[in-house]
Structure 1
Amino acid sequence: MSWISLLITFAMVHIAALVAPGPDFALMLRASVSGGRKYAYALAMGLSTAIMLHTVTVTFAADLLQQYLPGLMLVLPWIAAIWLGYLGIGCLRAQVGATTTEPVVTDRTKLKNGWWTGFATNALNPKAYVYFFSVIAGMLPHDSPLAFKVALVGLFFLLALAWFGFLGWALNIGKFRQQLQQNQWLILKFSGVILLVFSLLLLLQGYQRLMV
């Protein structure tokens, strides 16, 4: 697999994880409606910056693990496969409840700095580290050049910023917000299928590493 192909693979996994409705989506929904578009943009930047922090931390930590604990790297693709499979099954089994149809005003909307709200929410989320560590460390080759790692960090940041920024814009449009909420089940099913496909690919990659 070429470096470009691997980067595209990372991008597809990350996009599937981003678009699956979750805490970040709920936060953007509340911020967009009760805090306004500018506040939502600031929140999107904070969420994306935290994702960049996760990516930088895990990318270079994975490099150290590959250097000093090479045996662990044989196991990580299996861990990543299990984690992505868990997320995928969760998306397929999730039920869209009535509580998501109307935004809830919270104290977060009163903060002057939306960036800190988004950054702290994502940076302090332990599940985010599990996701990034399992996926990046599980899929990142040992011989990855520095340029590829920098490109990966930039890619994850830009994809997150594009998605959350789009939500900040679109969720301020009443009709679009209603349509997006009504079709959350379709988004969940799409994300679930994509995550399960890559879970299977990681299982294959783990098997190939054991056979080397």
Structure 2
Amino acid sequence: MEIISLAIVGLLIVISPGADFVLVLKNSVTSGRAAGVWTAVGISLAIGVHIGYTLLGIGYLISHNVYLFNMVKYAGALYLIYIGLKSILTANASLDGVEKDEVQLKPSQYLFQGFLCNVLNPKTMLFFVSLFSQLISPENHEYGSVLLYGLYIALLHGLWFGAVSVLFTSRVLQHRMAKIKKRLCQVCGAGLMGLGIVLGAKSL
């Protein structure tokens, strides 16, 4: 029963709309399916960082050192605000020639965006620290189970956001997206900026 509960919690965390979803959606709509998929890969890889520092005990340090934790929170908040502002400022970019853009993509750029968006997201950090701190204790050293659960979360991120990028670049939706692209980018950008401001304000 505990395994099922943890699996459901992980699934809900992944599919809940947040900064990762907004970034994948924005990159998919504005730069094509490949951009969205590479962003999803970056997000999935970032989960490995959260697993690593939690298992090594860095999560404990962050959760008990207010100064260090606030530094990380501010870094994540500022990055979200930057991505959001950039999305708003580039909202007028045309969607014409998406296929051409896909060929000329620099995968590392989108992978790095997805990686940073997730690895600097305080909500994701808090999730792993709070959850793993319940799974790991002085009396319980089941690191193998925790590692498997972390890999499960990473796989869910990759599959879910990969599916989002494919869905929103399908031919059925692409024409409709072209019509609302400017407004969608503005909304996504405002959402990212809002998340960054809210998360940053919580540190004050």
TM range (shorter): 0.5 to 0.7
Taking the aligned partners of 1:101 and 1:107, their CA distance within structure 2 comes to 12
Counterpart code for 1:140: L
Question: Once superposed, what is the RMSD of the aligned Cα atoms?
Answer: 3.8
Aligned equivalent of 2:83: 87
Offset at 1:45? 6.4
Alignment pair present for 1:166 and 2:203 = no
Percent of paired sites with the same residue: 11
What runs of 5+ residues in structure 2 fail to find an aligned partner?
1-5, 133-145
CA contact (8 A) 1:89 1:192 kept: yes
1:134 to 98, 108, 120: 120
TM-score by length of 1: 0.62
Offset at 1:82? 0.9
Aligned equivalent of 1:39: none
Change in 2 beyond 3 A, CA 1:180/1:138: closer
Alignment pair present for 1:60 and 2:57 = no
Alignment pair present for 1:103 and 2:98 = yes
Taking the aligned partners of 1:138 and 1:79, their CA distance within structure 2 comes to 14
Aligned equivalent of 2:22: 16
CA contact (8 A) 1:21 1:188 kept: no
2:131 is paired with a residue whose SS is: coil
Taking the aligned partners of 1:124 and 1:93, their CA distance within structure 2 comes to 18
Change in 2 beyond 3 A, CA 1:11/1:67: same
Counterpart code for 1:184: K
Deviates more, 1:177-186 or 1:79-88: 177-186
Aligned equivalent of 2:69: 73
Taking the aligned partners of 1:167 and 1:143, their CA distance within structure 2 comes to 33
Alignment pair present for 1:190 and 2:187 = yes
1:72-105, Cα deviation, whole Å (9 max, x unpaired): 323111111111111122222223224x313344
Change in 2 beyond 3 A, CA 1:193/1:123: closer
Offset at 1:15? 1.4
Offset at 1:68? 5.2
Aligned equivalent of 2:131: 144
